[in-house]
Structure 1
Amino acid sequence: MVVTQDKVSSGPFNIRCDKVYTSSGCVIPSYSPGYSMNSKKFPAAAAHAWLIQNRLAPEFFGQTPVTPLQYMPNKTRNAAGASGAGRSETANRYRVCYGAAANKMVYRTDTALHPELSGSNKDSRSCDEYSFNATYQSAGMPTTEGGKNPRPVSDALQGRECVQTYEKKLPDGTYRLYDDERYAAPTWDETCGRSSMSLNVNSLSMSRFGSFASTFRLLDKDTYWVDIDGFQDCDATADVIKCAQRP
């Protein structure tokens, strides 16, 4: 249901009410909320997202409400595709991270692990992609199925076309996000990022997104942006990007 309210000082705006989530409610769909990544607890995931959204111009994927991402819910609730039959977000992730054998991510053996973040004290390596797989800006989503990425990955190269990084633990106990030199150096004309990263960091950094989507009642193609704190002193335009995260 859409209700138009025109008796406000700022002019007409739409209110949308739905029963998609556990309880009914209403939102102003023109408002783009910001998902805040916990940069202090998951700095590698935050640094990766910051790098891609700040360096890959002019898209600046999800950097601000002016350049938002568009949410793609599960295939039962999205109309992606020419047939409107919906697309699975895992299909996007597969193309970027696990596609054809020659293109799939091979995790670096020196990728930092964070077993301390797990109750079972376990961890493994994973593929962290940006833009997120559950967005229309995912480079794994073809334009023929409604994808909004200006240059989605090709069938030939898939995730190899993304900026490639990994997190490494240094001898002094600190962590750094590095360019993965097994691949060609980034040209910064890429439209996606792929990082070899701790599964705990990768998954937990987005663990609050479900409640975020529910709170702001995100439906198919609703916009949001990704708020990443701690990198205000970093210059994303430098030829070699070196910076330290703020405390």
Structure 2
Amino acid sequence: MANPSQFGFQDASSPIMEELVEFHDHALMVALAICSLVLYLLALMLMEKLSSNTVDAQEVELIWTILPAIVLILLALPSLQILYMMDEIDEPDLTLKAIGHQWYWSYEYTDFKDLTFDSYMIPTSELPTGHFRLLEVDNRVVIPMESPIRIIVTAGDVLHSWAVPTLGVKTDAIPGRLNQTSFITTRPGIFYGQCSEICGANHSYMPIVVESTPLPHFESWSSLLSSS
């Protein structure tokens, strides 16, 4: 959950998000090194410690050709690794289908019979004390902790996007198309997200709430919901 005046990421709750935070720090250090080098060279020129009469400098040309290539490699390799991790779906324990509508989400647990429900935002006038405004829903997505989850995302009307920042998940919901991704929650908790694609007047009123629970609790919840 994000805090007021927070500058950094939310606490990572999945291996993918941990990798994304680490890559952000890595890219930030590379950018800091580049800026420091540029400022250092500018300072030398302002103090006239670098000659401005150079017409041909093959060593300098070689350096400013090789260094950017090295920087791109340092950024590309970990980025590609994370992209492959995000696309890797290997024998999920649970498959969840999310369907975006104006302006709510529908969920189907495809491994269970008749386990489907709609998830609407709780209006501010009906919000219990201590709950989060514009983020709470009447039906949460409950998933087992530390289990590979595959989520299939689509839409029934216009473009939407299913996004939960603390899990490092953001998948576009496109009418007539099925997009999928996977994630694993590393701890129990309640994780909040929102539709991340402008989809109309009430775009900001279709939040996402994922509840990660131990497997026995999930089994009890799914049995209770299936029988009701």
| Same fold, TM-score > 0.5, yes or no | no
Structure with the greater alpha carbon radius of gyration? 2
- Structure showing the higher helix proportion among its residues: 2
Q: Which one scores higher on RCO, CA 8 angstroms, separation ≥ 6? A: 1
- Structure showing the higher strand proportion among its residues: 2
Q: TM-score, normalised by structure 2?
A: 0.23
Q: TM-score, normalised by structure 1?
A: 0.21
